[in-house]
Structure 1
Amino acid sequence: MSTPENAIETIIFFDIDATLVENRFSTRVMADILQEIADASGQPRDALGRALVAENQRRQLETPDDPLTMDWGDIALTVAQQYGVSLSQSLDALWEAYANVDEVDLLDDSPAVVASLKAPHRQLVIATKGLSKYQYPVLRVSGLLDLFDGILAPDIAGLHKASPGYHNSYTRTAPDALIVQVGDHYEDDVMAPKRNGFVSILRAPIEELAVHDAFERPQYFPAYADRLHTYPKEGTNVLPDAIVLSLQEVPALINQLEAEKGIPKNG
């Protein structure tokens, strides 16, 4: 079986946070913002942190496709104003200033995994719920940015990651391609991709599942679902196609999926 030169037969979407990396500098950014609001308002910092999360959750529920829904700078300003505080520092400026390689942990040697997946017939794309202005600094300092062929974010797609159509700018160009989403978030990386007809690979390092094949693990996952904080409280019948404990397992799964679809190793 031969394919036209540069034909894309497999598109692999990767989440960032808790999939490729753990971002620790974000905690310092939030701490500085919350401390300023706390000092000026007299409110406990923990309560203010909960207010930030609540405002983000409200936006995701009411206006999911508005880019401001995931704009933590705007969320911080909104919460500060609720307590009569005018911030002297910009969350976005702090984010850029604090971004550094020492506070971004690479999970499962993720750059090597992504590099091993590169092939002429594959397109590797970041698909994130975070805005690009927050994710580009993380990708740059981690060395991951140049390994990907593109990035999708709410401000780029004009849609929330879980919304239908979020992936269209890539999937429409290769309607017959194998489409795979790799990530850790149950709604964004399992439920939404499965609704779209994609293959879902969930990163969930649950050691008890190690004894099972990656494609068999989903049937055992419900017994451990409470360990995944993004699993919906109301439950769901939707399961991923495969579960990996480490990204190191992903290349072999992609090869297997491509073989089943009849995609030659060299595209």
Structure 2
Amino acid sequence: MSKRLISFDLDGTLMQNPFGAWVFPEIARVISGQLGREHDVVSEMVAEHEQRMSQKRYVEAYDWDDILVSRCDAWCIEKRVDIESLVRKHSVMPKVYLLEDGILQVLEEIKKLGFSLAVVTNGFYKFQAPVMKALGLLDYFDEIITPERAGTGKPDPAILQKLQGEVIAHVGDRLDHDIQLANRSHVTSILIERNLPEELLKLQPQMRANNHGMRLFCLEKLRRECKNPLLLELPELLMPRMVIRSMGELLSVLDEQAMG
């Protein structure tokens, strides 16, 4: 019998990685030191990342080493930063942390329901594994799919096809990556959003996606993700089928009827 899989995003869904608060600032300090002046290194790296994403170069978009080499070439300096080493250095609590208490217990309970668990992330394995290990996440997942291993990234449906088994649902925090991926793959798209307004919290997870207020909430969320405040419409492909406020809520919807 084929495995029944629930796949998860990592950053913003299960855990906080050290890039924003620790890794990028250290890269900026080293590079600014090499240049002999303060320079907005991170903004240039992120701009290069976004350009690659817009060109659907999903693997290259998350190859931070290659992005840094590209920027160093433009600045006419040598790349002297090993990003993987920085990630390992900073993969200690409280620099990295789980986004909710009890996440590991919830993952264990989901497995007891008969599901296999997988990670589908746009972060390279060498950047994600140290964080997952530090937080105790590694042992809970049967498969970890990353762009450099899959040859593509979210939201390309091909990345989900790398999983061995029937994907029942994908859980993530981004509309443009996770929800689009699930909808294009014809699996249940589950948005985890920990800052839902009170009127949406009153609704059952299965009912939230049909609420007009949820659609407006998602439109505003997509504007932030796309950095386009003038976006007027939420594409149906980016509308989640189910919305949860926590991993704990996920347990309540993982049954045959909800996943059907």
State the partner residue of 1:202. 191
- Using the size of structure 2 for normalisation, the TM-score is 0.86
Equivalent position amino acid for 1:82 in 2: A
Equivalent position amino acid for 1:210 in 2: L
Give the 4+ runs in structure 1 shifted more than 6 A.
none
Preserved CA contact (<8 Å) 1:207 1:245: no
Q: Secondary structure at the match of 1:216?
A: helix
Q: Larger relative contact order (C-alpha < 8 A, sep ≥ 6)?
A: 1
Distance 1:60 1:155 in 2: 14
- Using the size of structure 1 for normalisation, the TM-score is 0.84
Deviation at 1:71, TM superposition (A): 1.1
Distance 2:226 2:107 in 1: 26
Deviation at 1:157, TM superposition (A): 1.1
Among candidates 167, 174, 197, match of residue 185 of structure 1: 174
State the partner residue of 1:211. 202
State the partner residue of 2:28. 34
Preserved CA contact (<8 Å) 1:21 1:104: yes
State the partner residue of 1:125. 118
Give the share of equivalent positions with the same residue, in percent.
Answer: 25
State the partner residue of 2:73. 81
Q: CA RMSD in A?
A: 2.2
Distance 1:121 1:227 in 2: 33
How has the CA–CA distance of structure 1 residues 139 and 188 changed in structure 2, closer, same or farther, with 3 Å as cutoff?
A: same
Q: Say whether residues 1:14 and 2:8 are aligned partners.
A: yes
Distance 1:42 1:32 in 2: 15
State the partner residue of 1:69. 61
Preserved CA contact (<8 Å) 1:153 1:161: no
For residues 216-255 of structure 1, the aligned pairs below 5 Å read 216-218=207-209, 219=211, 220-225=213-218, 226-227=220-221, 229-230=224-225, 233=228, 234=231, 235-238=234-237, 239-255=239-255
State the partner residue of 1:110. 103
Distance 1:63 1:261 in 2: 30
State the partner residue of 2:49. 56
Distance 1:259 1:19 in 2: 24
For residues 122-161 of structure 1, the aligned pairs below 5 Å read 122-161=115-154
Structure 2: gaps of 5 or more residues: none
Equivalent position amino acid for 2:175 in 1: Y
Q: Secondary structure at the match of 1:113?
A: helix
Deviation at 1:80, TM superposition (A): 2.1
Preserved CA contact (<8 Å) 1:25 1:104: no
